[in-house]
Structure 1
């Protein structure tokens, strides 16, 4: 009887240890609401629509960790994005936001798979709107929230300093052919095709934070007008300073690129500047105001936008947003509040979103 009792005790203890050594977390975000836009088509018509992912992209995911002993862990994540209004999303990718496995110890983490680039990892803390899906720096350059396939990535935190470095063997550009669409992968004999690499550093301590990030993409063989010798290079620097319950954010993104430009053509050269202010009025109410300016070095097409937002926390997991934006175009620029090319040439646009976000 005593032996059975002790055996049961050992089994119970072993079960608890196994549970403590390995864990899986189910998490997600649901974000949906309404958007009103002026100049929504070439005729200048207005539009009212239901829109998913106004502040945060809707998603669900699994995140896991296993203790390997000696301070080492195995980690993984599978994260799928979707639109709440249709249940669809991300071009048919099952886990289009993230899909990786890796190892972690006191010196940092190394992960392999589809992951966020360094711009996404570090700059999100320095865009006043947190790189929101709509009306943020994202509308000026989608690569700021980029993800790459086939990536080996290192990230580590040492006191106030965070370091990120990555290399993508093929970042997964969409390639369209007579048989349909596919995502680019490694090309035999052309190691540069669709390649990407980059990294960044962040310093954050007390009321001050700053980051510098570099990102480079290569052209993709198999896409008309591209070759692996073409490059898009980005450099971003940004900073935050807290004054009590307020935070002031400034940022700059430099780009020079010729991916998709015909031989002898003029390379793209542009800059993005932003300035923002956030104020936590109370535990439940937050205010955000931001301005973005796009400087095209090759023309006088220099649009700008202004954004203001009110956030009200209904609980720790559920909040509501009211966001108002304005994009101003001149000299045939085409910046809409949802990105370049979303308005008719030269038209400016006003937009309003009202949405509800729940995190689990």
Structure 2
């Protein structure tokens, strides 16, 4: 993380403002890439070796963060964050310039208020309980919305009061990109005469401490004409309800959660439940993470089970190398790829290995 002191010093010198002396702008980021080998990557059972585009151990990004002290404990701030695909250098999140975040806000003892494109409460709910995070092999592969749980055209609030956390977002047009995929579902909303078109609201309530934490969330999104995921009417909905928690046993973290998903789309109603359980243990410069997850499809045999483990070694505070192994078992007609955004034939299992390097700044 690097402060742009020169620019701010020049601005303050020209403006001769005491407020400038209490302002800062920072450039920060993370670059993470590697090489993955995945079995059964097509219907013929062929393997593939690739440089992942969506994520490695963590998604790559570059961002700009600015704050200004307004006095009496009040701060103004902004965040502009761009997602990067290191395999070819393109922007992530449906090709948006600042697809990971683009918002402005106010922060005080009462909490944080934000306006713009931002992560919503589904994203926030599993940050501390999902030990793998948005890894190439993770629950993100089972539900690609999880690492893409962001809302365009949104207003958000988050507050923490003696460990109790409450938060919510409300979007009048949840996804303005038409590039396709879970990060760009062509639902810009803001339609005159149709207040439900592409609306989304999410909410979180929980408790966090150093030793343990627990939260619950609710996420409801509406569709509209032309939207992806089968939500082609403003009456169509995709609803996720989650419970997530973590427990510290010395240096070891145990994290678990469950997500119920109900889709009322043009093709009909479907429901599933995703469970995950993981553990993370640092020892010296090494960190070992492991997780098992299972999605049960209701009224169907199309279940899927994930097993993954990762070993990281910190070369410094900002640089690490990592190695991961994973397996995805598909039952029935399920066709969930082990690697997020990958391919697999229905009912076929996949194994994979990932070797990579990560650097933050």
Q: Same fold (TM over 0.5)?
A: yes
In the other structure, the counterpart of 1:244 is 250
In the other structure, the counterpart of 1:269 is 271
Q: Does the aligned pair in 2 maintain the 1:214–1:234 contact within 8 Å?
A: yes
In the other structure, the counterpart of 1:54 is 56
Q: Would you say how many aligned residue pairs link Structure 1 and Structure 2?
A: 340
In the other structure, the counterpart of 1:196 is 200
Aligned-pair distance for 1:340? 7.7
Q: Residues 187 and 133 of structure 1: is their aligned pair in 2 closer, same or farther, counting only changes over 3 Å? A: farther
Alpha-carbon RMSD across the aligned residues, in angstroms, is 2.1
Q: Residues 326 and 183 of structure 1: is their aligned pair in 2 closer, same or farther, counting only changes over 3 Å? A: same
In the other structure, the counterpart of 1:128 is 131
Aligned-pair distance for 1:231? 1.0
Aligned-pair distance for 1:198? 1.0
In the other structure, the counterpart of 1:298 is 299
- The CA deviation string for residues 117-165 of structure 1, in whole angstroms up to 9 with x for no partner, is 1111121211121x22411111111222211100000011112122211
Superposition map of 1:7-26 within 5 A: 17-26=18-27
In the other structure, the counterpart of 1:336 is 337
Give the TM-score normalised by the residue count of structure 2.
0.89
Q: Which runs of 5+ in 2 are unaligned?
A: 1-11
Q: Distance in 1 between matches of 2:205 and 2:322?
A: 31
In the other structure, the counterpart of 1:159 is 162
Return the index of the structure with the highest Cα Rg.
1
Q: Residues 313 and 340 of structure 1: is their aligned pair in 2 closer, same or farther, counting only changes over 3 Å? A: closer
Is 2:238 the counterpart of 1:232?
yes
Q: Which runs of 5+ in 1 are unaligned?
A: 1-10
Q: Does the aligned pair in 2 maintain the 1:194–1:221 contact within 8 Å?
A: no
Q: Does the aligned pair in 2 maintain the 1:313–1:319 contact within 8 Å?
A: yes
Q: Distance in 2 between matches of 1:206 and 1:69?
A: 30
Q: Distance in 2 between matches of 1:39 and 1:77?
A: 40
Q: Residues 340 and 76 of structure 1: is their aligned pair in 2 closer, same or farther, counting only changes over 3 Å? A: closer
SS in 2 for 1:92: coil
Q: Distance in 2 between matches of 1:122 and 1:64?
A: 25
Structure 1's consecutive aligned runs of 4 or more residues displaced over 6 angstroms after TM superposition are: none
Q: Residues 272 and 154 of structure 1: is their aligned pair in 2 closer, same or farther, counting only changes over 3 Å? A: same
- The CA deviation string for residues 29-50 of structure 1, in whole angstroms up to 9 with x for no partner, is 1011000000111111111112
Give the TM-score normalised by the residue count of structure 1.
0.89
Q: Residues 223 and 215 of structure 1: is their aligned pair in 2 closer, same or farther, counting only changes over 3 Å? A: closer
Q: Residues 156 and 345 of structure 1: is their aligned pair in 2 closer, same or farther, counting only changes over 3 Å? A: same
Superposition map of 1:345-356 within 5 A: 345-356=346-357
Q: Distance in 2 between matches of 1:214 and 1:223?
A: 21
Aligned-pair distance for 1:70? 1.8
